[in-house]
Amino acid sequence: INTFCPLKDYNPFRRTSASRLSSVYAEVIPYLNSQDLVTCSVLSKHFYQQTAPYLWKSPQFYQTSHIHNELYMFNRFLSHLPDVRRSTQEKIEHINLSTIQERLYDRVNPNFFRLLVLHAPNIRSLNLSSASFFHCRSLPTGAWSLSRLTDLDLSNCPNITDDMMVTIARSCRQVAHLKLNRLFRHKGRGLAAFAAECDHLSTVELIDNTSLGDEGVVALAKFRHIHLHQLDLSGCSELTSTSLQILGKYCAHLQVLSLAGVCGLQLDDLKKLSCIRNKTTDLDLSRSALRPIDIAQWISQTELNGLVQLCIDFEVIL
């Protein structure tokens, strides 16, 4: 503060040092929001050069006017992307399309995913949550890869199928954080593909996958190269003791586990989850089909050494 404070030794008749202002800006730029970054980028060529890497790192498609909504801005971004210098394309790391919705006469560029694969090779985080415009025809026809993608969110995508997930898993092998929430057509083969292809999986969310069978969870547990730390199976009503027992046998590193609303959960399954006694810090057993008295007895008789947060129904406490 003493070095960069603009009020220190203030003299209204002396021009502000450009180098001092530039130094101040370099310090605060990581904390500016996207709109402030855009404003600063048009001040001068020097400010633009400092701001551009932050703007391209995580492009924002927020609505700028009644006409220029998120969809318009995203399509315009796609139209300019092939003409941008390769060094600039390589700065793109985060893409969030969860707020973009098509209208009756306004559609997302059907080649949007192909353009991202081709011209944004360093994407690390891709959020396609609720992207109704993402379907099998969006995927490239030939071989493709997003070799640096680590965070992928496909939640609430109505057109996602197991075949699509198999293709994506084979082309995005570095995925570590995966969200597949509320995919009602997902039966497990897609999850099994991610388990087989992605060696770095550590966080998986499968909330309300009402058609998910044992196949995907068994694959997720049995691939020994995966050190799964967080798993959310809330609302997966089709799971049975088969997958839960294998989960308890092989997933010894689970720190966060949610079994809320899993109808197939049995008391023996809880007893065989060795991770709960050693590693688990957050456990959710709410909306369980087990009797409240059985859960209460299990809690009182089990040494939960690392448990920090436990979510249970109020009846269990009574």
Q: How many CB atoms lie within 10 A of CB 236?
A: 26
- pTM for the model stands at 0.86
Residue 132 CA neighbour count, 13 Å, CB half: 8
pLDDT at 1: 45
Fold of 68-317: 3.80.10
Tokens 């700028």 locate to 64
Do residues 156 and 132 touch, judged by C-beta distance below 8 A?
Answer: no
Neighbours of 36 (CB within 10 A): 13
The domain spans of the chain are 1-61, 68-317
Residue 289: both structure tokens together: 């089909």
CA-wise closest residue to 222 among 198, 259, 251: 251
One digit per residue, the tens of pLDDT, for the chain of length 318 reads 455 555 555 555 455 555 666 777 777 888 888 778 878 877 777 777 888 888 889 998 876 666 788 999 999 999 999 999 999 999 999 999 999 999 888 899 999 999 999 999 999 999 999 999 999 999 999 999 999 999 999 999 999 999 999 999 999 999 999 999 999 989 999 999 999 999 999 999 999 999 999 999 999 988 867 788 999 999 999 999 999 999 888 888 899 999 999 988 898 988 888 888 888 999 999 998 889 899 999 888 888 878 899 999 988 887
Q: According to the model, what pLDDT value does residue 103 have?
A: 87
CA distance 112 to 100: 12
Residues 120 and 146: beta-carbon distance below 8 Å = no
Q: And the tokens for 302?
A: 């089990």
pLDDT for 6: 53
Neighbouring-strand partners of residue 288: none
What's the CA gap between 115 and 56, in Å, rounded? 15
